[in-house]
Structure formats: C-alpha cells, structure tokens
Amino acid sequence: MWMPSQLPEIAAQLKAAGFQGDPAGLAELAKPPMNAVVKVGGATGAFVSGDGLVLTNHHVAFGVIQYNSNKDRDLIGNGFIAANRDAELPANPDYRVLVTTGFDRITDKILADARGKTGRAYYDAVDAASKAAVAECESEVGYRCSVANMYYGTDFYLIKQLELKDIRLVYAPPEAIGNYGDEIDNFVWPRHSGDFTILRAYVGKDGKPAAYSKDNVPYRPPAHLQISTDPVGEGDYAMLAGYPGVTYRHRMASEFKSQIEWQLPARVALFDGMIDTIEAATAAKPSAKVLYASQVASLKNGLKRAQGELDGLRRSDAVSARAADEKAMLAWLGKQSDAKAIQADIAAAQKVLDAGAATRERDQLFGLIRGQPQLLRSAVTLQRLAAERGKPDAQRESGFQQRDEALIEGSLKQVQRRYDADVEKALLSDLLKRYRALPAAQRIAEVDAVFGGDDAQAKAAIDALYAQTKLGDEAERLRWLRAAPADVAASTDPLMLAAAKLLPAVLRQEETDKSREGDLLRLRPAYMRALIGYRKSQGRAVYPDANSTLRVSYGKVSTMSPRDGVTYVPLTTVQGIVEKHTGKAPFDAPKPLRDAIAKGDFGGTADPKLKTQTVDFLTNLDTTGGNSGSPVLDANGRLIGLNFDSNWEAVSASWMFDPRYKRAIHVDMRYLRWLLAKVYPAPHLLKEMNLPAE
C-alpha cells in the first residue's frame, strides 16, 4: 500500500515485477493514470471515458441504484441501462465523486503548536491546526480538504479533492449478477460476481462542480483509463490504486499480542455470550425475535469477522513474527547514534499502552453496557448531548455538534424497531454480571451506584428502571432530544436519571482516551522512525499504514493454496455461474445470462486458453476495506479488472500481510465487456469507452 510519491523509490522492484511504464509517472497525482483514480461513496472508482464515465462496484453504487428504484421500477432486481445521456438517472444528492488534486506535506504546520505539549494538549493542538488547514484549503469553492496522518503522527499531509456533486447512474447489471452469491459468497473464492456499475459525473456549464441540474454537462476529466482488450492469465503483472481504509501493520509487538491473545478472543466470547442471551430471551417470543434480528445478525457478523481475523493471525503466527521483527529492530536501534531519545519515546509509548491495557476489560464492558441496550444507550446519548448543547457549536465535542443531531434523532427513532424490555433487561444483566466479575480495583463507582454491587441489587435496579421509564415511547425520547439542557439534566425518568449518574464516568473515559491518543501521536513517531531506519538498513522501504488516502499496490495474477491438497485457480468462468445456480437468491442467475452462457457466444471476450468466458480473477495485490472499486491495471497501465473483495483467509491482513494467504478478488473486464456486448447490450457505452462491439 504505497503512497504514489514512494513509487520512484521502489522503481527497481516495480520494473523487476514487470511494470512496463515509468514508475516516476505513477507518483504524479495530476497526471494519468493516478488522476483517473477517484474516491466514490467511501470507496474507489476510476474515470473510463473522456466524458466522465466512472466505473465502480455495484455494491459501492448500490445506494444510487436503490435511490432510483421503487415498486414500479426495480433497478436492483432488473438492472439499468441508460439508452442515452438524457436517460441517465441522478444519484442521491449526497453521493460524491472526489478527485484528488493536492497532496502536500504540512507536518511542520500541524505540529508547530503541539511541540512541547503532552497528552490532551498535544491532541488538541494537532486537532486545531488540522481544522485550520482544512478551513483554509476549503476556502476555494468546489474542493473538499482533509489532513492525513502518516506513520502515526510522523507526517501530516493536506489532501485536496475536487468534489463532484452531480453523479448519475448509467449502467447497472441486475443484482443477481452484480451481487451473485451475496452473503454466502462474501469473502469467498472462487467467485462469480459481476460487481460493477457505471456512473457519470456532471458539472455546471462553467466546468465547475455543481449540485444536480438538468442543465449540467458531463465532466471532462483530465485523463481516463482505457479498458484492456488483452487476455489476463496466471502470473501476469497487475497493479491497483485506491483508497484503503485502515490497517494496523506497524503497531507495536505488544499491540499485536494484545489483539491476538486478548482483544479478539474476548470479543468472540462476549459476542457469543450476547448472542446466546438474546436468543434465549427471544426463544419463546417470536415478536421479540424479529426486533432483535438485526442486532443478532450484526453480532454474528462481528463474531465471524473476529474469529476469522483470529484464525488468520494464529495461522500466520503473527505474535511471534511481529515480536521477532521488533526485537531485531530494537537491537539494530541500540547500535545507532541517536538511539537514546528514540528508545525513551518508545518506552514512554509502551507505558501509555500498558496503562490502557490495565483497564481494557473494564473499558470494553463499560462500552458495551452503555452501548448495546437500546434504551440505556438512548438515555446516555441524550444526557451526553445535553452536556454539550450549552456550549457554542464550534466548541462542542465532535459527534455532538449541531450537524450530528439529525443522525442522533435517526438513531433514537430506530430504537422502536429494535427493542423489547425483557430482552434488554436480560442483556444488561448479563453484561453487568461480567462486569462484576472483574477485580474490585476495576470497578466504576458510578456504575455500582446505579446498578448495585451484586446480582440481587442489579436485578432490583434493572427491574425498577425498566418498570418506570417512559423512554420506550419514541415521542418521549424525541421530547428529551429537543428539551433544554437543564431540563434534561433534571429529568426524573429513572433511566434518564441513571444516565445522568453515569455521565461523569463517560466523560472521564473520553478524557483519558483523548489524552492517551495525544501521547501516542507524540510518541509513536519514534517507533516509526526506528522501523523505517531498520528497514532501510535491510534495503526496504516502509509504506504508512492505510488511512483512506490514495495508495498503490503491485503484484500478479496468482493461484492460492488455502489448505493442503487444494489449489485455487486464479480465473473463474461462466461455468461456475451455472454450477452455483439454484434458481433462488442469492444464486439466481438471470435467464438472459444463462441463455447467453448456454449459447456460448463469447466472441472476442473469450479467454484464448480456456476457450470460454472468464468472470473474476485473483491477484496477490494488497487491499483492505475502501479498496472496493479500485481499478486493476496491467503492465502497461490498461484496465484489466475491478477490485471488489478479498478472500476469507485474508481477513487478518489488516494486521499482518501474509503473502501465502492474502489475495484480492476482481471482476475481469472481459466479463464486463461481454455483458455489455451480448447479455444486457449497451453498444453506445462500449463505443464511448473505445471498446470493440464484441
């Protein structure tokens, strides 16, 4: 996950891997191909025509498809082809395509006021300088700006992005193609999904970003990618650009140990326990079962992810591997002239982490106690908001500013569809029981004051709270949302009262978290400097952990052995669609697709070796969440694939990249071309993208 600016530094590696272009050219954000790679709806996409066509995943554009669907027009089920530009459908007004135009290192500016400070003060100084830089940058109309923190506080970059606001739906396959296999095939290879959609960006007649208007014209990007017409095969060079969200690969060895030996197992056990509690409490009450279906599904998904990450990190022996690497790094560091100051900062950072680890069980449980039960969470949120609403908006905590109130209102309304008093009481009892099992030193006075110190007291307290609270009424919750802060603080509703009593503990926790965050922002750069120096001594460069900024990864089309005796072939074919087809969602391949497969008319999009139509392909490219929709390029920079998922064995890659198991899954552009040529034809789009008619 290299920053484009690092690519000249690793030019030799890129060339050795097979890249045919000039690595230096990849570092230029304002030149092709990088200026064709855009941020789309929280993920990635790319311009694929001179008239602003944007290619991204079906699942990334799903909101746009849904927004344009209704009971008379099922674009989700049927797909969509705009016959001409007038027929292109406007996206939801908040949907954006962002084109990165600036990426400037402003470390000195961000840290100027922070230097010499510690803890919360350091955090606040960085925060204030970042906000000022963003405000200054955004004074230019039509741009959105942000500050990205690289190498954990070592460097800060100001990112400037052109904000395209009029996005329209041009082409979407039916969901049964775009999301073939849905949850069952999620994270699965071999895959057979045509997970793509084509959008178009529009601007005002002046060429500047503008909200939707009938009079807008297609945006003419300075560059776009050309879809390849060459075959793709095992071993071929591949590279990918996009906006990966977050990784933790450069965390300290103690953090790896904590994640693998405590955090993930604890999460598995807790989620498992909560699922059991909810399922037991709803077993004999079908109405409650429906109310909690979404929460249980979310817990099960979280459990599955945590277990997958844990399995993967254990399989890769991540604790030992990271510890050995850190040990070697520290040994190297000991021999450097500037070792002392760096060692001191690393030791101090370890102390901050240790302090956090000392109360991690309690902090986790306190978070769940005030977060999982719907009514208690509502009460705490209402009290927390009231505590902020007395301040000027700019000084309010983020998350509790005026612009956040709509979101809070939405979540207070949601409660109605997800709450049953008996289930909530069972869940809260279970979490409090776990909390009371912690050592005495871990207890929180406010929690004990509200819920008592033993089972009997907790039962009595919970019964009393839920017998008398009126927060089960939506109107009542919304009344407190709008009430004057003083009235909220003085509420006599028992749950509002309980939340008011818990509030000091909540605020204390927030303060501690921010103070630690400030110190780590100050101290981690020493660790990163040591790591970068050590890697340099090995002749290796270091990319910063992912943080939703533009990154590049290179590698090749690659098989994989998920386990002894099994090899995954890196290309799937339409034969797999037929094999998986059951006639029922999510394996309900549409009839036109099945007919076209049976007909076997693949023409110029067929694979010359396999003699059939490919669907998806597998590479060893480095990706994480946010890389959805990333364009996959060949050695000459032509578009061969669209990234949309990774394999189950790679769930742990956010912590550790293990080349044996990390793979990325892409739609083969030949499948897109075939669908547009023969199955759901859009010859005008093929022409616009400069592609053969078949």
Give least dist CB 305 to a second copy, A. Answer: 20
Q: How far apart are CA 690 and CA 694, in angstroms?
A: 12
Contact 54, 200 (CB under 8 A): yes
Cβ nearer to a second copy, comparing 277 with 647: 647
Give least dist CB 613 to a second copy, A. Answer: 11
Cβ nearer to a second copy, comparing 6 with 613: 613
Residue 166's φ and ψ, nearest 5 degrees, are -110, 95
Using CB under 8 A as the criterion, which residues of the chain lie in contact with a second copy when the complex forms?
189-192, 561, 563-569, 571-573, 575-576, 579
Give least dist CB 280 to a second copy, A. Answer: 16
Cβ nearer to a second copy, comparing 284 with 475: 284
Q: How far apart are CA 521 and CA 275, in angstroms?
A: 36
Q: How far is CA 487 from CA 66, 308, 399, 493, 499, in A?
A: 41, 47, 21, 11, 14
Q: Return the structure tokens found at 209.
A: 């970003």
Whether 124 sits among the annotated catalytic residues: the reply is no
Give least dist CB 587 to a second copy, A. Answer: 13
DSSP 262: I
Q: How far apart are CA 309 and CA 318, in angstroms?
A: 11
Residues 592, 645, 270, CA angle at the centre, nearest 5°? 120
Q: How far is CA 178 from CA 80, 219, 586, in A?
A: 12, 26, 11
Give least dist CB 581 to a second copy, A. Answer: 12
DSSP 677: I
Contact 479, 537 (CB under 8 A): no
- DSSP letter for each residue of 538-564: TT---PPPP-SS-EEEEEEB--EEEET
DSSP 64: H
In the set 155, 185, 195, 668, the catalytic residue is: 195
Q: Which residues pair with 169 in a beta bridge?
A: 89, 199
> In angstroms, how far is the first alpha carbon of the chain from the final one?
35
Nearest to residue 363, comparing CAs of 495, 266, 250?
266
Whether 668 sits among the annotated catalytic residues: the reply is no
Give least dist CB 77 to a second copy, A. Answer: 25
Contact 519, 352 (CB under 8 A): yes
Q: How far apart are CA 142 and CA 147, in angstroms?
A: 17
Residue 158's φ and ψ, nearest 5 degrees, are -90, 120
Question: Would you tell me the crossing angle of helices 360-371 and 339-358 to the nearest 10 degrees?
Answer: 50
Cβ nearer to a second copy, comparing 496 with 574: 574
Assess whether the previous peptide bond of 33 is cis (omega < 30° from 0): yes
Cβ nearer to a second copy, comparing 16 with 284: 284
In the set 258, 316, 558, 628, the catalytic residue is: 628
Whether 684 sits among the annotated catalytic residues: the reply is no
Q: How far apart are CA 355 and CA 352, in angstroms?
A: 5
In the set 59, 192, 224, 666, the catalytic residue is: 59
Give least dist CB 17 to a second copy, A. Answer: 24
Return the amino acid letter for 413: K
Cβ nearer to a second copy, comparing 156 with 617: 617
Give least dist CB 574 to a second copy, A. Answer: 8
Catalytic site positions: 59, 195, 628
